[in-house]
Amino acid sequence: MPITEFDLINRFFKQKFPTRRDVVLGIGDDAALCTAPAGMQLVMAIDTLVEGVHFPVNTKPEDIAYKALAVNLSDLAAMGATPAWMTLALTCPKVDEAWLARFSQGLLELATAAEISLIGGDTTRGSLTVTIQVTGFVELALLRSAAQVGDAIYVTGTLGDAGLGLAAIEKRITLAPEMQNYAESRLNKPTARISEGKKLTSIANAAIDVSDGLLADLNHILTASKVGASLNVESLPLSKALQSINRETALKLALTAGDDYELCFTMPANKKPPIAATRIGTIEQQLGLRCLDKDGKIFISKISGYQHFS
């Protein structure tokens, strides 16, 4: 007898996930019921991963699930929000119980770490597509639109690693095994900077997560804030793996490769960030984004970030 949609949901997604006291009714009715905390704003984001577009074919099911949640949590992190609830829309070509068990395990791992409840979902048949919607809370959100002239620009962690991992998987770049493992893990299991985002709400003026590449994402801050910036490419934080390859390629990855999910934020230059982060530039009145080398010369005038559909 074939497994039904309802068995699927019960078997793989109803059990084990964190339960929160603000979830009145989770999976199992027409919709979920939750109570929002007084005095907080709700923060909502939705992101889809498509096989072959957002992750390579043959990516481990647990990594697909982990990443699908991580990219959404990263959007909450960029607003300084605390995650609370998620809904999952999973489209897959067939019922593969071993695959589903691993998928739900990957989702559970990150959901438990992030203390986020799975409150609802839909499972459908089709090409492998994973959509997660997350809701969180924040008292005062970090926006893209509030960067101030004179602000220092920072990023968390290191940039370009996910792009390096993809290049290694696609055999465009050859890496030492331990470097390849590191870069692939940055691609497949990105870290959403939730705790960092929360600490930034009291001091940062603007923030975004680096999903499409630093230049593209920083440009969103500049456009929304109606300011410009200069970046010092020598100061870009590069991992050992990225330092192990040709420097020009490394800088191009750090500037334009997506999928790192680090936070890029701006804050008053005379203050110290409350989290580990690297200063990479300055917000300026002159519109546009100028990438300068160590001598202050223009390194590149424009490199496009990753664009779906382009």
- Three-state DSSP state, 51: strand
Q: Cβ 32 to a copy of itself, closest distance in Å?
A: 5
Q: Cβ 5 to a copy of itself, closest distance in Å?
A: 5
Compare residues 73 and 277 and give the one whose CB is closer to a copy of itself.
73
Q: Cβ 142 to a copy of itself, closest distance in Å?
A: 8
Q: Which of 191, 190, 194, 218 is nearest to 206 (CA)?
A: 218
Q: Cβ 310 to a copy of itself, closest distance in Å?
A: 5
Compare residues 179 and 255 and give the one whose CB is closer to a copy of itself.
255
Q: Cβ 114 to a copy of itself, closest distance in Å?
A: 15
What is the distance between the alpha carbons of residues 133 and 47, in angstroms, rounded to a whole number?
7
Compare residues 25 and 276 and give the one whose CB is closer to a copy of itself.
25
Q: Cβ 292 to a copy of itself, closest distance in Å?
A: 26
Q: Buried b / exposed e across 177-194, counting CB within 10 Å, b at 16+?
A: eebbebbbebbbbbbbbb
> Tokens at residue 212, please?
């499409």
> Could you write out the DSSP letters of every residue in 179-236?
HHHHHHHHHHSPPP-HHHHHHHTTT-SEEEE-SS-HHHHHHHHHHHHT-EEEEEGGG-
> Could you write out the DSSP letters of every residue in 266-302?
EE-TTS--SS--EEEEEEESSSEEEEE-TTS-EEES-
Longest CA–CA span in the chain (Å) reads: 70
CB within 8 A of 151, min separation 6: which ones? 205, 206, 266, 267, 268, 269, 282, 283
Compare residues 129 and 244 and give the one whose CB is closer to a copy of itself.
129
- Residue 276's CB is within 10 A of a number of other CB atoms, namely 10
Q: Cβ 256 to a copy of itself, closest distance in Å?
A: 14
- Three-state DSSP state, 108: helix
What is the distance between the alpha carbons of residues 124 and 98, in angstroms, rounded to a whole number?
17
| Residue 259 and residue 162 in contact, taking contact as beta carbons nearer than 8 Å | yes
